Amino acid sequence: MEEKIKNSEKTTYETFTQEEYMEMKRDLLKPLEKIGLWGKVWIGFLVTVCLLGVYAYYIQETKSKYVTVSLRDYTMWGVYISNFVFFVALSLIGVLMSAVLKLTNFEWYRPLSRIAEVIAVGAIMLAGVSIVAAMGRPERLWHLVVYGRIQSPIVWDIIVILTYVTTSLILLFIPMIPSMATLKNHLTGKPKWQMKMYELLSFGWEGTEAQWKSLKRSIKILTIMVIPLGVAIHTVTAWLFATTLRAEWDSTNFGAYFVSGAFLLGVAGMVVAIFVIRKAYNLEKYLTEMHFDKLGMALVMMSFIYIYFNINEYLVPAYKMSGLHANHLLNLFVGDEALFYWMVVLFGMVIPATLPLIPKLRKPLPLTVIAVGVVIAAWFKRYLIVIPGLAHPYLPIQDVPESWRHYTPSLIEMTIVAATFAATLLIVTLFSRFFPIISVWEVAEGKLEGKDEIINYK
Amino acid sequence: MKNIKYLISFCFLFSLGLLVSAQEKEASMSISFDKVDEKNVCNVLVSSEDKPVAEVSVSLYVERLFGLLPIKTEVATEENGIATFEFPDNLPLNDDGKLIVLAKVEDDENYGSFEEKTEAKIGTPKDLSKLDNSGRSLAGGRDKAPIYFIIASISIIAGIWGTLAYVLLQVFKLKKLKTV
């Protein structure tokens, strides 16, 4: 008994001297060594799209929104807000792929956690940008702080987004401290400022027992905190709709419906991300077929949960077919938006719920194809939540101009949306060029503790 | 040839006569208010060429912010040319303490469409005190948030940001945990 207690108190603080560790380090630091031609072309492309977005925003703000975008009194939240909801949903990838798996001791999370965290940081930042793009008078954003009501969902949204950005950044950064020391000690041929940055950010890390203890404690606190926070951010986003008077959004189901959709998108996003990263940086040894297999199963589970909430959301009102609800539902089921709607159901729910049940389709390539479909469908799903609902207000205005009744995003809007995607990808790409995209110590720790499943799985 | 000329002239004059006879006559309205058995009554008199006109459908409205509030529609005038409406006394008055009352005749076969507006002082003054003096509520103003809500919000925000500050402090303390 005494021996048992002693063992449980004993913590293994690795010194990472093993040969295997050195090999791992070489593999995982390789992407930082040199940016190849295709890497430069990719970064150049993303920067160009971002700059086009900045220019489009300049036009939008200088020539007035009425002229440059299709937003009108009915559809006052267009593609910007649906894009915002998409990015908030994507940012929950950090909660699911890092925090939940970590706390529930799914060891295969190890090479995934940093990828998930950096996508979360990028996505939530661009979610904020999407809101500002939609604002009529962005220079008055501070009025929300000075004149806002604490009871207002929009004030809560700002608070929760700021908190989530900060938490995600800290949660991304703290597990990187040992990596900073590794970079400082092992990277060569890098500019002075870069090495100085690693030194500053390593906060005097030496890997002492006390430092490990403190670091792991901090990570645990943040990991626990980020789960309710992630759920809160997306629930508040859902409440922005549920508390607005529109037939489509009159739902007590909205918070859970949004969160379940975000988790499905998170899994799909992760599949696409690791497929690209393992190919681009030759990390097949770390992001293995096992990960795709597990993520494929997670995709099925999340799809079924999402389907359940969708049935609640659409089938119950469809049974009643009352008033304005009927307008909207018929529009989705058999009307103007039917093709869109059923494509989203097919690619965003039915296919990910069924096809990955076949083991062969959980291999990297087929699963990635399925996941790409889910990601695209997820974007359009948010579009279908935001836009058609706005077209049917409870208090219709008499003699509205025709342009208020229909909404098609303008070129300016689509350019800005494209730029937000490019910016998220740019954040992930640049991050992976300056910091290891897979946490060396977390993967090594898994291996040293005998959890071979991470890299030996075939 | 001569006969044809007569025929054309006759047709022309006959058509002209028809046109003149089919033209709508001019009519006007006047609105007045009265009290009958403690109830407010609005009388709309329709007249044409100073004579009252019977059997004309009149609708009565009150102008509101977003449109016309119908009091009653399509009430026919009687022999004396008057359409009588019971007028409510509980409509909120405009800022100037008056209501704009509108009587309309639409697509009458003899008189076409016309309308008349007048002001009335029948109604209740706007009472915003309910809004001003309402207690704390979720729907209240910036300074009217419920106390429990303020306490809950501040506790959650302080708890989370306090934890973040604590964790960051631990990062800055890492240097002290180096081997000496």
Report residue B11's pLDDT band, with 50, 70 and 90 as the boundaries.
Answer: confident
Distance from CA of A222 to the nearest CA of B (A): 8
CA distance A237 to A19: 48
Which helix (DSSP H) or strand (DSSP E) does residue B133 occupy?
none
Query: Looking at residue A448, what is its pLDDT?
Result: 59
Angle between helices A79-91 and A364-390 (to 10 degrees): 140
Helix and strand totals (H; E) in chain B: 3, 8
Give the one of A149, A174, A217 whose C-beta lies nearest to B145's C-beta: A149
Q: What is the mean pLDDT of each successive set of 10 residues along chain A, which is 458 residues long? A: 42 49 78 86 96 95 86 86 94 87 85 93 93 87 88 86 92 91 85 91 87 91 91 90 85 92 96 94 89 95 96 90 83 89 96 96 96 97 89 74 84 96 96 89 69 34
List the CATH code of the domain at B28-120: 2.60.40.10
Is B170 in CB contact (< 8 Å) with chain A? yes
The A-side interface with B (CB below 8 A) comprises 147-151, 159, 163, 166-167, 170, 174, 177, 203-206, 208, 210-211, 214-215, 217-218, 221-222, 225, 229, 398
Number of domains in chain A: 1
Given an 8 Å threshold on Cβ–Cβ distance, is B177 in contact with A210?
yes
Distance from CA of B78 to the nearest CA of A (A): 34
Burial bucket for residue A334 (CB in 10 Å: 0-12, 13-18, 19+): exposed
Q: Closest Cα to residue B147, out of A146, A154, A151?
A: A151
Given an 8 Å threshold on Cβ–Cβ distance, is A159 in contact with B157?
yes
Average pLDDT for residues B96-104, to the nearest whole number?
93
Query: Looking at residue B22, what is its pLDDT?
Result: 58
Scanning the structure block, which residue is given the tokens 């809560």? A156
Q: Does A19 map to a domain? A: no
- Is A400 in contact with A74 (CB distance < 8 Å)? yes
Is B164 in CB contact (< 8 Å) with chain A? yes
Q: Which domain holds residue A373?
A: 36-394+404-456
Give A-chain residues touching B134 at CB under 8 angstroms: none
Is B65 in CB contact (< 8 Å) with chain A? no
- Is the pLDDT at B168 greater than 70? The verdict is yes
Residue of B150, B167, B172, B179 for testing the chain A interface, max A β-carbons within 10 Å? B167
CA distance B43 to B80: 11
Given an 8 Å threshold on Cβ–Cβ distance, is B174 in contact with A177?
yes
Nearest CA in chain B to A167: B164
Work out the end-to-end distance of chain A between its first and last CA atoms, rounded to an integer number of angstroms: 38
Give the one of B145, B157, B174 whose C-beta lies nearest to A205's C-beta: B174
Residue of B69, B170, B173, B174 for testing the chain A interface, max A β-carbons within 10 Å? B174
Query: Looking at residue A10, what is its pLDDT?
Result: 40
CA distance B55 to A211: 97
Residue B86 vs residues A250, B23, B36, B37, B44: alpha-carbon distances, Å: 39, 33, 9, 11, 11
- The number of CA neighbours under 13 Å toward the Cβ of A419 is 21
Given an 8 Å threshold on Cβ–Cβ distance, is A163 in contact with B161?
yes
Domain ranges of chain B: 28-120, 137-172
Scanning the structure block, which residue is given the tokens 């006959």? B14
CA distance A241 to A229: 19
- Is the pLDDT at B110 greater than 70? The verdict is yes
Could you say which residues from 93 to 152 on chain B have a Cβ atom under 8 Å away from some Cβ of chain A? 138-142, 145-146, 149-150
CATH assignment of the domain containing A141: 1.20.1630.10
CA distance A321 to A293: 41
Give the one of A163, A211, A214 whose C-beta lies nearest to B160's C-beta: A163
CA distance B111 to B52: 13
Give the one of B67, B160, B174 whose C-beta lies nearest to A214's C-beta: B174
CA distance A420 to A417: 5
- The dihedral of CA A301, A306, A309, A310: what is its sign? negative
- The dihedral of CA A427, A297, A257, A71: what is its sign? positive
Which helix (DSSP H) or strand (DSSP E) does residue B46 occupy?
strand B39-48
Residue of A146, A150, A243 for testing the chain B interface, max B β-carbons within 10 Å? A150
Query: Looking at residue A16, what is its pLDDT?
Result: 45
Q: What is the reported pTM?
A: 0.78
Query: ipTM score of the complex?
Result: 0.83
Given an 8 Å threshold on Cβ–Cβ distance, is A211 in contact with B171?
no
Given an 8 Å threshold on Cβ–Cβ distance, is B174 in contact with A203?
yes
| A-B C-beta contacts closer than 8 Å | 67
Work out the end-to-end distance of chain B between its first and last CA atoms, rounded to an integer number of angstroms: 133
- Is A185 in contact with B151 (CB distance < 8 Å)? no
Q: Pairing relation of β-strands B112-120 and B39-48?
A: unpaired
For B33, phi then psi, to 5°, come to -115, 150
Is B67 in CB contact (< 8 Å) with chain A? yes
CA B135 to the chain's CA centroid: 30
Residue pLDDT, tens place only, B122-138: 999 887 776 666 688 88
Q: Does A199 map to a domain? A: yes
Give the one of A150, A204, A208 whose C-beta lies nearest to B145's C-beta: A150
Give A-chain residues touching B171 at CB under 8 angstroms: 174, 177, 203, 218
For B35, phi then psi, to 5°, come to -120, 120
Which helix (DSSP H) or strand (DSSP E) does residue B123 occupy?
none
Given an 8 Å threshold on Cβ–Cβ distance, is B67 in contact with A149?
no
Q: Look at residue B104 and give its three-state secondary structure.
A: strand
Length of chain B, in residues: 180
CA distance B145 to B125: 28
Query: Looking at residue A451, what is its pLDDT?
Result: 45
Enumerate the H helices of chain B as residue ranges.
Answer: 2-22, 129-132, 147-172
